[in-house]
Each structure stands twice: as C-alpha cells, then as structure tokens.
Structure 1
C-alpha cells in the first residue's frame, strides 16, 4: 500500500512512519500542499492523510483540488487530522470525499482504521483490452512481460517528467527532443498510441525550435504540458 502523508510536524511524521512500518506500507511524507500535488501528479497512492493547518496553502485547498481533478486522486482514500473542526467544516470535508477523521494526538488504532479494507482490495493490475494489441505485437502475447515493462516505465516516468519540465522551462530544445524521442517508443510499446503521437509531434517541434523556428517554439511550449499530463496519468 502507498500512503501520502501531508504534515509539517516532524514529530507526527515520525509517529505515523513508526506506526505503519509493520503494515507493508510505503509512506511518503511532504510538508505542504504544493509538495503533495507534485507527488500526486507523479505517483499513485492508496491513501492520503492530510493536516488542515499547513504552511502556505490550507489543507482544504488540497482536498478541493483533488475533488476538481479526480485523476490526481486516482481513487485514493482521504483522511484528515481534524482537531477542533466544527460540524459544518466536517460536512464540507465529507462532501470533498474525506472518509476518515483523525484526532491529535492520533492513536495507533485510528491510523490502522484508515487502512481497513485497503489490504483486501484487489490490486489494479488488470491489463486493459485496448493494450492487447501491444502485448501481442511487442511482447509475444506475454502479459506478465508487459506488466513488468510497465512497472519499470512507471518507475522512470517521474524522472522523465522532472527532466522534461526542467528542459521545457529552460528552453533546452535538444534535451526535450531527445526525451520525447525516447518516450515516443516507450509509450507506443505500452499501447498508448495517443500519448506516443503527442511525444512524436513534440520531438519534431523541438527539433525545429532548436533550429530557430519561433512557431515551433510556441508549439513546444504548448505540447510539453500535454505530454506531462499524459505521463502522470500512467503512474
């Protein structure tokens, strides 16, 4: 199970880490809404536990963003530390999908209750039928081999997103072209033809932008965020 903890109190972070270390949980902690959104854009989690009082943006901002963008939440269960909230706020949080409310200090039993049912939930490993052609063409019909390749790609995609974003922000068109070329092949092999087509066009535009084309530079600026979003959905 993958758990995202959004909490700026290091003492509480350590308590949650110690409480969940024997529960086959991979815990990732962050201290702000912006850090949490970046993590959610590049990874999938089974459970998100968030404080409401955070440095910078309020925890409610995170929950509202996940409500508006369900692809970021990706079905994760939501829990909040709720010390001192009134019934109206609790009702608002429930409307945003929060199903667990944890007090401060938090008990071990309350934390474990957040995990109830997640252990028994079927893993999301089914291979979509639209990818069957890719399995037949590139993996000789071996679904297990496809799943292994997909798992490795998902480990690499966060690095690709970070490197691509950096190259895009700096206008490093040669680096972006090289990355798009690589992603085009990977995405096509995985059966994501639409995303592969975006990467292919970005590769062509980045090459032309590197040669001085202003129109291609504008196209690159528009195309990379679309490709980045497509990669995030595959994590």
Structure 2
C-alpha cells in the first residue's frame, strides 16, 4: 500500500534510493546488513527491507520483530532460517537456496545461519520501520544481578559466561574474538538430520563452529 500521507505532486517526492549507501550493521567485510525504510525513500508504504550478506556459518542472532512479519528471500548462497512456534514451542529449521523464501510471523523468535560462502539474503518486512528485540540485548541490558537471582544462577559464573558479549549488540555472530565453548554442550537434535546444512548442530563434533575460525 502506498504511503497515504505522501503528496505525490510535491518536488521532494523520492522514487530511487541506493541501499548500498545505508549500512545498518557491519561485522566485517563479508558480513554486513544494509537497510531501506520510509526515512530513506519517502514514497514507501508499509514495507521495508534488510539486505543481508553472510559468510558460511555466520548467524543473524536470535531475535523477534514485535511490529512486523518477515519474509526472507535467498538471492545467492544458502541459509537455514530457524523459528520457534510460540503456540507449540516447536523449533522449525527451513533451508533456503536461491529463489526460495521462508516466512516468519510477527513476534516469533527466529535466527538465520549462512550455510555457504557469499550468502545474500533479502529480509522484507510489512512495516516501514521494523522494530527488533535482540537476544544479546536481552542478556546484556538486563542487570546481571537480576538474571542471577531470577534463574538461581551463580553470579560470578554468569559474569564470566557473558563477558565475551562485551555488553555489545551482536546482530551477526559469532564475534571475531569468540572463544571455544565447553565440549559437553547438550543440543537437542530435531527430527530431521541437520548436519548437511545447519552448522549449529555440528557444534559438539566440531568446535570450529564456536572457535572464531572465520
């Protein structure tokens, strides 16, 4: 739907924008996100998008959009889009390759992992300004004493565990200084084997996925 507030006869009406000039986030030269919203192109209606570039095994961290649904389209490479159904608590993993899409309903917790080098995804939202709640922000912005008390956790151990986050928004992870994780990680395997396309489920067998070897 077109922007109903726009006077299309005004001289400042915009019909073109170069998304490459609007960087949202940069992890490194191979992992970054450009964005487009109504503040960039004033003729946009209730739509916006993120232009996402990922190298193999990089993850868009767990998050949700409280005001928008998200359609993820694979342009090149491949990725796995994972989401949690809040009505059933079931985790679904959707592999996508060029020309394929995965749809994430508004408010659903989800994440994406690139499974090939030079993966290019387009995330399209049904809101002009998509809002995001990010997992790293939940962990670092909540007072650590509250987390320890609420979940009966050892405060000192929790501080040590969360220290690699460095109180930053991760968005594209793992961070470049990510250290190796314990070998006895207990990961619940989904019903379908994931080893061919989902590096998260190879973590126990291959610590590379947590070792910052990117």
Bigger RCO (CA 8 Å, 6+ sep):
2
Rg (Cα) greater in structure: 1
The TM-score with structure 2 as length reference comes to: 0.31
Q: Counting helix residues as a fraction of each chain, which structure ranks higher?
A: 1
The TM-score with structure 1 as length reference comes to: 0.29
Q: Counting strand residues as a fraction of each chain, which structure ranks higher?
A: 2
